[in-house]
Amino acid sequence: MPRDALVFVGTYTRGGSEGIYPYCLDLATGALERLAGAGKVENPSFLAVAPNGRFLYAVSETESFAGGQSGAVSAFSLDPATGGLSLLNQQPSEGRGPCFVSVDGTGSCALVANYSGGSVAQLPIRSDGSLGPATGKVQHQGSSVDPKRQQGPYAHSIYPDPTNRFAFAVDLGLDQILCYRLDPKDGRLPPHDVPWTPVAPGAGPRHFAFHPNGRFGYAITEMGNTVVVFAYDAARGTLSEVQTVSTLPPDFTGTSYCAEVQLTPDGRFLYGSNRYHDSIAVFAVDGGTGRLSLVEIVPCEGKNPRHFGIDPTGSFLLAAGMESDSIAVFRIDRESGRLSTTGHRIELPSPVCVRFLLR
């Protein structure tokens, strides 16, 4: 079993932050050690590590870049020995306010969601890890029922499916999960035959996670404070709703917004974060149906858990408190999925994304 993992934390560059911070996570104790250097880039609010572990990609969540009305995507070379990051290049994200980036399973392209621009884009990854200009952009159209937050499209995330044949874009403003054909060589993101799957009006879907077995998908809704379970037909590229569960206690009457959703590597447990309730909801996953049953809801030991990360061994969950300027480390019980505090906590300005690389 690996002894440690690199941890990369994306931040909002305010209050003294310089960008992306590398740490080392001790996989025996959960202790975090700050490593030298930082990936200096503006507002790297979401990160993705390439499948080969040699490159890291970050959005710059801004409204303008290089004189245009677009944010940016940055490519870094990554030194697995030290966690050091070296900027390779930047490209326009082809939309304002990019808030999410992922890399396809072959490491051939990056997929970007532009939140305030309401669009998604595909950028080729060159052999040296640098990014080429976008080869495909899709501008979402429409609105949904909330007059304040859904008056137009707000693309919040985009993911390659486990087969690497489709890309699923989650749009908070449309209450839809849109599906595109994914071809890294073609790069155009044409709509699939079933172009979108609805979620409940006003739910505001935000992030998504595929089960490791490839048969199920899970959407967390920012405004509805729910996780929606889907059966996934990988051959057809279609999602079918199975269940919707709340992430909040039944007696909670305050304001809260969900953020991140992830599963343990073995697929037995699912976790979702509640901002302003400031908690992590833990669910057991039925491996046959994908359905969820609540295990517990635990305080995240911070404020506004915009993101969290589960290390690749399934041992620890790191909860990023954006408004408490902190990351708290929890141990995951492999049999029950329950979280227990480790006492390990670090402070850094406005952490908003946590990514791992085993060494």
What's the mean pLDDT in 142-165? 98
Dihedral (Cα; 212, 261, 121, 99), 10-degree rounding: -150
pLDDT tens sequence across 57-98: 999 999 999 999 999 999 999 999 999 999 999 999 999 999
The closest of 197, 234, 231, 205 to 217, measured between CA atoms, is 231
What's the mean pLDDT in 146-169? 98
Model's pTM, two decimal places?
Answer: 0.98
Q: Measured between alpha carbons, how far is residue 210 from residues 215, 219, 243, 315 in Å? A: 8, 9, 15, 19
224 close to 200: Cβ distance less than 8 angstroms? yes
305 close to 327: Cβ distance less than 8 angstroms? no
pLDDT at 1 over 70: no
pLDDT at 236 over 90: yes
Q: Which is it for the CA torsion 317, 320, 321, 326, positive or negative? A: positive
pLDDT tens sequence across 11-20: 999 888 999 9
Q: How far apart (Å, rounded) are the C-alpha atoms in residues 120 and 270?
A: 26
pLDDT tens sequence across 206-227: 999 999 999 999 999 999 999 9
Residue type, 160: P
Burial class (CB in 10 A: 0-12, 13-18, 19+), 14: exposed
Which residues is 137 bridged to in the sheet?
Answer: 121
The closest of 73, 24, 122 to 359, measured between CA atoms, is 24
pLDDT reported for residue 16: 87
pLDDT reported for residue 58: 98
